[in-house]
Structure 1
Amino acid sequence: MKLVIISGRSGSGKSAALHALEDQGYYCIDNLPAAMLSQLPEQLSVGSNEPPKVAVSIDVRNVPGALEQFPKFLKKLKDQGIDCEVLFLDADSDCLMKRYSSTRRKHPLSNKNVSLSEAIELENRLLAPVASEASIRIDTSPMSVHDVHEQVKSRVVGSSTKSMTLMIQSFGFKNGVPIDADFVFDVRCLPNPYWDESIRKFTGLEKPVQKFLGSEPFVKEMLEDLKQFVDKWLPRFESGQRSYMTIAIGCTGGQHRSVYISDQLGVWFSQRFDRVQVRHRELSK
């Protein structure tokens, strides 16, 4: 049995993730008490053949202390020979605040004594034992529901193949570091096309900026160093049963240098690995 455990802070997209897997043929269970995880295989096999693919959602609405024992529950499942994967969704706190404000829904931890912002931070602490076991993390801050669907299908359904998926993502430090990044590289030391008014309006995907950065020796040197580092260590992670890895490349605004470097790395690694994706966080907004 393949078991995907979905968790994350309220408002991060857990329901969308569960629906995405349901569309892919998974037997889905919403808001399962964490203590029942180890009983799941036995319960599903009663009276019939157990489903080959199961997805369960676990959130902060659990009995006191249950989430702290999540690593123990997960180990028990794995000891039973269950193929488990933990998908943890999250978004930055400001984004979660905006989502709750727009939908006017009540946060499960908020009450007359606990404000929304306090509830969001409390939930972060309570879910820490689950987050620490995550094999896949997705930052949904810049994503629509459709984007969440696509990312879940790509990372979870696609991870059933033996080849690890490499995501290369550009971002701007002024908007925060992606929370789902495994490696973060800072390219703000490189020459900045922003200060050339003739090419400022273009992005790292367009020829004027590409020509500017492609002619800079430091840019070429940075690219070669990043290629060598990832090329050396990625197979080590792949042999450790990692199904997905995100490499984040950041500059100040996420428009020029990080976009160019990410795009160049994507082209190069696509020739060496089967599953390579490139995403530009700031350009997609």
Structure 2
Amino acid sequence: MSESSPTSPSAARAIHLVVLTGMSGGGKTVALRALEDLGFYCVDNLPTGLLPQLVESARRNRAPAQQRIAVGVDVRNPGEDLQQMPYVLSALAASGVQVHLVFLDCSDEALVKRYSETRRRHPLALRGVSLADAIATERRLLRPLIAIAEKVIDSSELNVHQLRRLIATGYAQAAGGLTLMFQSFAFRRGLPLDADFVFDARCLPNPHWEAPLRPLSGKDAPVRDYLEAQPLVREYFDDTARWLDAWLPRFEQDDRSYVTVAIGCTGGRHRSVYLVEKLAAHYRALREHESVLTYHRELG
């Protein structure tokens, strides 16, 4: 039996192509890194004309990572590139590629603030061109892409962690397997609304009451050392991991692609952060073919 042609739709069914575009400063780099964490093969600022070649390479490569591609496109691409992008994406979709165009938008006010805080230069802010004029020009150049975007994300009110989590949640299914998100939070600021499991770590010894540890977080070595020396913390971790080991497979059997495990403490900076990092490391080693992400709500 002859193999399918590399250009046939059947050969391309497994390929997911996510094209990230949008306003400079809107979070495209953060989104691209989130997809990279999910196992996508990521390329930034790829010329439009090379997209079909990239897809052809993915068709010939049977490795799972090469079947999921994310490409960043912005105003650094030549103007004709942006104009041709809708036609190229349409042709790829017709050939069987699962194409997703995501536009990261942001209000002018938020963009001006971000550029002021980071002191970065807008790619269109050439000599004599104000930041406001550069943003207006960029919106005009990107108009053909936002018009055909499958999803428009307004990042004006999102921090880096929230945007990363939003992207990861939306494309976990394309990554294949089960994606685990471990999230720390403070009970005093309320429960995460989208958590599948919530664990309460307020019963554990609190580094907050140790003056040298108070300004640190559960990511810092002195806090880790303090908590790892506590038998109750070790027991809590072992029991939590054992419980998740027993029940996560049930979610996989139910065709779930994304599960969020939230761990809270009083301030969301020490105990919950430590446990989230430790559980994430545990499951990255245990489930090496799946995606394990972390998000610390109160550290953002």
Superposition TM-score, scaled by structure 1 size: 0.53
Query: How many Å separate the matches in 1 of 2:42 and 2:175?
Result: 18
Query: How many Å separate the matches in 2 of 1:132 and 1:35?
Result: 20
Query: Considering only aligned residues, what root-mean-square deviation do their CA atoms show, in Å?
Result: 2.0
The structure 1 segments of at least 4 consecutive aligned residues displaced by more than 3 Å after TM superposition are 43-46, 158-161
**SS of the residue aligned with 1:38?**
helix
Please point out which of 8, 11, 16 is paired with 2:30: 16
Q: Give the drift of 1:45.
A: 4.5
**SS of the residue aligned with 1:142?**
coil
Aligned pairs for 1:137-216 (under 5 A) are 137-158=152-173
Which one-letter code corresponds to 1:43 in the other structure? S
Please point out which of 111, 116, 123 is paired with 1:101: 116
Which one-letter code corresponds to 2:83 in the other structure? E
Unaligned runs of 5+ in 1: 162-285
After superposition, what is the alpha-carbon deviation per residue over 1:86-116, rounded to whole angstroms, capped at 9, x for unaligned?
1110110010000001000111001112111
> Residue 87 of structure 2 corresponds to which residue in structure 1?
72
After superposition, what is the alpha-carbon deviation per residue over 1:204-263, rounded to whole angstroms, capped at 9, x for unaligned?
xxxxxxxxxxxxxxxxxxxxxxxxxxxxxxxxxxxxxxxxxxxxxxxxxxxxxxxxxxxx
Unaligned runs of 5+ in 2: 1-14, 177-300
Which one-letter code corresponds to 2:137 in the other structure? L
Which one-letter code corresponds to 1:53 in the other structure? R
Please point out which of 78, 91, 101 is paired with 2:106: 91
Contact 2:21 2:72 in 1 (8 A): yes
Please point out which of 49, 66, 72 is paired with 1:35: 49
Larger Rg: 2
Q: Give the drift of 1:10.
A: 0.3
Choose 98-107 or 125-134, whichever is displaced more. 125-134
Contact 1:38 1:76 in 2 (8 A): no
> Residue 213 of structure 1 corresponds to which residue in structure 2?
none
Q: Residues 119 and 105 (structure 1 numbering): CA distance in 2 closer, same or farther, change over 3 Å? A: same
Contact 2:104 2:152 in 1 (8 A): yes
Could you tell me the percent identity over the aligned residues? 41
Q: Give the drift of 1:158.
A: 4.9
Q: Give the drift of 1:35.
A: 2.4
Which one-letter code corresponds to 1:13 in the other structure? G
Aligned residues: 161
**SS of the residue aligned with 2:135?**
helix
Contact 2:68 2:174 in 1 (8 A): no
Superposition TM-score, scaled by structure 2 size: 0.51
Which one-letter code corresponds to 1:12 in the other structure? G
> Residue 26 of structure 1 corresponds to which residue in structure 2?
40
Query: How many Å separate the matches in 1 of 2:49 and 2:33?
Result: 23
After superposition, what is the alpha-carbon deviation per residue over 1:94-153, rounded to whole angstroms, capped at 9, x for unaligned?
100000010001110011121111001110110111111111111000010000011111
Query: How many Å separate the matches in 1 of 2:159 and 2:173?
Result: 20
Query: How many Å separate the matches in 2 of 1:157 and 1:127?
Result: 27
Please point out which of 132, 142, 147 is paired with 1:117: 132
**SS of the residue aligned with 1:65?**
helix
